[in-house]
């Protein structure tokens, strides 16, 4: 499992977000903003695991909506003349700041990797902020608080919340004790992942 750094040249396969995501108004009279991310899709559970920094079973206990910059490394200096990565660039056409719903997730079982603590933050694209609804094209429904889940995540070393490796294969809900199903309908490896999770959790 490899660490993912928050920088355009080093984003992991799961989060080619900053370079390839765009936001657009969904209608002339609508305040909705739709994100169009490009994710890697995995042909096997082995590929999914190799692309994940952390695999856990946990329980979301709270959430909040935030704007998160998914590209920039911490500036060397606050002076733009000394460090062009600091501050905002006026007229920059491609924003790397997106709206996320960030869940506080209590870690119940660690399946692979090492979490940053007993409770972690996990960010999902989209949310409602300042009267505008932000959503991901093809994304899944928001998580339900207090409903156990299993997650395949990428880690940005504390620079941002953990994030699912993709929107279709990384999130599973516990439907009954020890039983899981994918939250996405188009998960081609659901059977193998669910079989694995049910053998590991509980």
Q: In this predicted model, what pLDDT tens digit does every residue of 31-72 receive, in sequence order?
A: 789 998 889 999 999 999 999 999 999 999 999 999 998 775
Alpha-carbon span 192 to 188, nearest angstrom: 9
Question: CA angle 63-67-71, nearest 5°?
Answer: 120
Taking CA atoms, 54 is separated from 33, 76, 155, in Å, by 30, 29, 7
Q: Which residue has the higher pLDDT, 150 or 71?
A: 150
Alpha-carbon span 36 to 23, nearest angstrom: 7
Question: CA angle 60-173-152, nearest 5°?
Answer: 75
Alpha-carbon span 156 to 163, nearest angstrom: 9
Enclosing domain of residue 114: 8-73+96-200
Flag whether 2 is in a domain.
Answer: no
* pLDDT of 94 above 70: no
Please give the pLDDT value at position 16: 45
Mean model confidence pLDDT for the chain: 80
Flag whether 80 is in a domain.
Answer: no
Q: Which of 63-72, 107-116, 174-183 has the lowest mean pLDDT?
A: 63-72
* pLDDT of 101 above 90: yes
In the block, tokens 């979490």 appear at 115
* Closest C-alpha to 4, from 50, 65, 46: 50
Q: Which of 20-29, 100-109, 142-151 has the lowest mean pLDDT?
A: 20-29
Helix (H) or strand (E) holding 20: helix 17-20
DSSP 161: -
Please give the pLDDT value at position 78: 46
Flag whether 3 is in a domain.
Answer: no
Please give the pLDDT value at position 188: 95
Instruction: Please check whether residue 51 is in contact with residue 148, taking contact to mean a CB–CB distance below 8 angstroms.
Output: no
Flag whether 107 is in a domain.
Answer: yes
Flag whether 136 is in a domain.
Answer: yes
Give the number of domains in the chain: 1
Q: Which residue has the higher pLDDT, 93 or 177?
A: 177
Instruction: Please check whether residue 160 is in contact with residue 10, taking contact to mean a CB–CB distance below 8 angstroms.
Output: no
Flag whether 34 is in a domain.
Answer: yes
Flag whether 124 is in a domain.
Answer: yes
Q: Which residue has the higher pLDDT, 156 or 13?
A: 156
3-state helix, strand, coil in the chain (%, to 5): 15, 35, 50
Please give the pLDDT value at position 81: 52
Q: Which residue has the higher pLDDT, 92 or 51?
A: 51
In the block, tokens 């609508």 appear at 30
Residue 173 token pair = 């809900």
Flag whether 161 is in a domain.
Answer: yes
In the block, tokens 């928050």 appear at 6
Mean pLDDT of 161-186: 95
């Amino acid at each position: 499992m490899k660490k993912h750094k928050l920088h355009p040249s080093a984003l992991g396969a799961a989060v080619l977000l900053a370079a390839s995501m765009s936001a657009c108004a969904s209608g002339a009279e609508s305040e909705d903003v739709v994100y169009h991310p490009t994710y890697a899709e995995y042909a096997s559970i082995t590929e999914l695991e190799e692309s994940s920094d952390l695999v856990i079973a946990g329980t979301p206990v709270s959430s909040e909506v935030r704007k998160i910059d998914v590209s920039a490394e911490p500036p060397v200096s606050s002076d733009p003349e000394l460090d062009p990565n600091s501050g905002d660039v006026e007229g920059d056409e491609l924003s790397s700041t997106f709206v996320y719903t960030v869940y506080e997730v209590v870690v119940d079982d660690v399946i692979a990797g090492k979490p940053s603590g007993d409770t972690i933050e996990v960010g999902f694209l989209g949310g409602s902020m300042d009267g505008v609804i932000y959503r991901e094209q093809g994304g899944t429904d928001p998580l339900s608080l207090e409903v156990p889940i299993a997650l395949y995540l990428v880690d940005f070393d504390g620079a941002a919340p953990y994030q699912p490796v993709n929107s279709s294969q990384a999130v599973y809900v516990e439907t009954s004790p020890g039983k899981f199903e994918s939250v996405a309908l188009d998960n081609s490896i659901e059977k193998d992942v669910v079989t694995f999770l049910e053998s590991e959790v509980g």
